[in-house]
Amino acid sequence: MRKRYWDKTVAQIAIQVLKENNCDWIMFGDVILLDEIGLRAAHTNLMKLHPLKRHSRILDYLEKSGLFNVDLVKLNGIMGNPYWRILKLKEEIKKEYENI
């Protein structure tokens, strides 16, 4: 039987995906994690978007949710904007979702 994801927010789905992959942070280059979040968030139109737009929109949702801390990391050798967002799960949220 297929799991129901449409009653969860994108942030809750992201926390579940991160927990399954033993991660507590996500950034723009994590294509597999971001695509998995997009697939599970079937109640949105994320998978209809171009991958770059989809990944950016997912990170925007997570940043606005308040469940993640946002850090900027400077990556040398990157053309354009060298600062990338890294979203780390807040400690109190991590403890709350440990039992799920």
pLDDT tens-digit readout, 41-98: 888 888 899 999 999 999 999 999 999 999 988 877 767 777 888 999 999 888 887 7
Per-residue pLDDT, 97: 75
Its CATH architecture, for the domain 10-96, is: Orthogonal Bundle (1.10)
Q: What is the model's pTM?
A: 0.82
- Report residue 100's pLDDT band, with 50, 70 and 90 as the boundaries: low
Domain boundaries, the chain: 10-96
Q: What is the pLDDT of residue 75?
A: 79
Q: Evaluate if residue 1 carries a pLDDT over 50.
A: no
The CA distances from residue 47 to 14, 37, 77, 82, 83, in Å, are: 15, 10, 30, 27, 26
Cβ(31)–Cβ(55) under 8 Å? yes
